Amino acid sequence: QKKDSRGVLIEEDEDGMVRHMNLFMCVKYKNAGKLSSHNWFFNGFCRELNPSYTVLMDVGLKPERESIYKMYRHMKEH
DSSP label at 3? E
Q: Is pLDDT of 71 > 80?
A: yes
Q: How far apart are CA 69 and CA 66, in angstroms?
A: 5
pLDDT tens, residue by residue, 19-47: 666 777 777 777 777 777 888 889 988 88
Distance of CA 38 to the CA centre of its chain: 16
Residue at 28: amino acid letter: K
Q: How far apart are CA 18 and CA 25, in angstroms?
A: 22
Q: What is the pLDDT of residue 12?
A: 67
Q: What is the pLDDT of residue 43?
A: 92
Average pLDDT, the chain: 78
